[in-house]
Structure 1
């Protein structure tokens, strides 16, 4: 008989609004943290040892938080809100101050993407004021790098991911659009390298594994679309995975390249083996849409967690398919 699905190891309550974004920071020797962004503009900084909110940062004029990330230095937090602002926060010595901001002009829900280019510099990609416009800015100088606009009407930009190939090419950018198209852009040359029709509906989310040059995208349909980038930087559609219910809010690949997690509109988190997209587990806890998922970056694999944030205002944390997981549950992720 198959074993029942696991339960969360614990849950976090008190956000008081739907959880649109999650981001872990679990460096060795320091307190492991989980950042959550809510639909009421609150950023909760959860201490994973005490399982309580260490601090709450109020920002973005009470508008929904769309995206969160921390800089490699660990002392700066970046947040994106529906107030058309991307804010940089200083977290040193318990401070919670917005020290800088970038205005996007975007009215959509497209989440930013960040790419470190040196220890002190990074690129920030975000949807711009025009429907199909993507802006790339160098930070922290806020120097504009380029504006990317397709030569045909594709509708609103829905999702983005920057990445740097090993081939020596400059930064590249994946972008999913409202008409279901996915484009690969060369940021340095400001040109479109490849385009595919990945979905019949808007591309709601995507994630990419640079090591395998392989990615996956989701939509409001009952399917995940898998694709790869060949040596000529052309996107090649591969297999698809049919889901039980339609709608995917977010997709995340674990750092070790073994697992893929999806946040479902059907209140469930689904876990797949990343190599062959084999379904491994369906995690059921939430009573409303799951809006966000994130894998922790613990240095010790045995401590790794999967977090899910939901419209039901709760965060669930799961310990699955790591070195402490039940052997019967682990199985093969090949």
Structure 2
């Protein structure tokens, strides 16, 4: 019996051009995405652009940072967080058709390590790479204070957006090297956890609130360049996916605060820039140095599709609340894809 041929990968359903290389992406907040589908892009020029997905045109653009924008996320539905290589995480609020900065949190300069944010009880926990090598600063953004803050930041101001709670310090700076990637998740049986990937290839798991290193594993021989996680909807098992400068992509199940190595896969060309696990935890996408976007199943780490549109390194990938995949590249283009929405 002949097996069915795998369908040809789709073309992008939409393309947007931001001129400067695209360095980070996030879709509009889940709470408002259905009524107002939008995507926010960060660029190597420091610009941040809000796009309408309906018209695929830029709605507003503003200078967010003096260096490349390496991370974008939502603190609450109407407060955007951005991180630049200029050593600042900024908090933005929208007023009609403009965005204004209402606070800053210092972080490491000239690194490529992103920050991570999670909500816990009535607080928002923000983990940022510290200016001390291999350390992570954990800030508390008071939700009530954040929602009530409407004043605009001017140079030299220090608005009370956050408090530094504590700093996570691994046993040895020399052994671990620089922080490369951060991810936070909340497991209902254990509370907030923080995944930290290091320059040494070490992957660590921390109790975000208790300031305790729970576990670690030598994940890759090279620096871990990309990381994300997903939650199995049937078992609540956390799966972490990591990639590095070589061609191997690995998965790790996190069971009772312990890493268990899962399936891995090797791609044709080395260099993984970014990884995004879809919200249902079933598939993940990678952005490669070879200009390609690859889609895999989480459970078996088996290849599902190779998407080819970009003409330069794919710096960032992310999924929307409706499972649309967005990819951003050094070529300055953002592509929107419909892939495996029924998987």
Normalised TM-score (structure 2)? 0.88
Equivalent position to 1:306, from 320, 325, 332:
325
* Unpaired segments ≥5 residues, structure 2: 143-160
Per the alignment, residue 150 of structure 1 pairs with: 170
**CA gap 1:244/1:41 in 2 versus in 1, 3 angstroms:** same
Per the alignment, residue 290 of structure 2 pairs with: 266
* Unpaired segments ≥5 residues, structure 1: 299-303, 324-332
Is this contact kept in 2: 1:294–1:306, CA < 8 A? yes
Number of residue pairs matched by the alignment? 313
Equivalent residues in 2 for 1:15-94 (5 A)? 15-25=18-28, 27=32, 29-61=34-66, 63-72=67-76, 74-94=77-97
Q: CA deviation at 1:208?
A: 1.4
Q: CA deviation at 1:276?
A: 1.6
How far apart in 2 are the matches of 1:28 and 1:86? Answer: 24
Q: Does 1:279 align with 2:279?
A: no
Is this contact kept in 2: 1:20–1:37, CA < 8 A? yes
How far apart in 2 are the matches of 1:87 and 1:28? Answer: 22
Q: Does 1:203 align with 2:224?
A: yes
Q: Deviations over 1:238-262 (max 9, x none)?
A: 2211111111111111112221100
Is this contact kept in 2: 1:90–1:99, CA < 8 A? yes
**CA gap 1:66/1:97 in 2 versus in 1, 3 angstroms:** same
How far apart in 2 are the matches of 1:190 and 1:135? Answer: 10
Equivalent residues in 2 for 1:1-334 (5 A)? 1-13=5-17, 15-25=18-28, 27=32, 29-61=34-66, 63-72=67-76, 74-118=77-121, 121-140=123-142, 141-152=161-172, 153-167=175-189, 169-210=190-231, 211-231=236-256, 233-298=257-322, 304-323=323-342, 333=343
Normalised TM-score (structure 1)? 0.90
Q: Deviations over 1:203-245 (max 9, x none)?
A: 11111124321111000011011111122x1112222111111
Q: CA deviation at 1:194?
A: 0.5
Q: CA deviation at 1:107?
A: 2.9
How far apart in 1 are the matches of 2:139 and 2:183? Answer: 14
Q: Deviations over 1:160-189 (max 9, x none)?
A: 11112211x342111000010011111222
Q: Deviations over 1:100-131 (max 9, x none)?
A: 11111333110010001245x31110111111
Per the alignment, residue 330 of structure 1 pairs with: none
How far apart in 2 are the matches of 1:237 and 1:272? Answer: 17
SS at match of 1:261: strand
Is this contact kept in 2: 1:113–1:161, CA < 8 A? yes
Q: CA deviation at 1:60?
A: 1.2
**CA gap 1:30/1:198 in 2 versus in 1, 3 angstroms:** same
Spell out structure 1 runs of 4+ moving beyond 4 A.
none
**CA gap 1:297/1:92 in 2 versus in 1, 3 angstroms:** farther
Q: Deviations over 1:134-161 (max 9, x none)?
A: 1100014411111111112211000011
SS at match of 2:96: helix
How far apart in 2 are the matches of 1:28 and 1:19? Answer: 21
SS at match of 1:250: strand
**CA gap 1:316/1:274 in 2 versus in 1, 3 angstroms:** same
SS at match of 1:151: coil
How far apart in 2 are the matches of 1:6 and 1:165? Answer: 35
**CA gap 1:88/1:28 in 2 versus in 1, 3 angstroms:** closer
Tell me how large the CA RMSD over aligned residues is: 1.5
**CA gap 1:22/1:271 in 2 versus in 1, 3 angstroms:** same
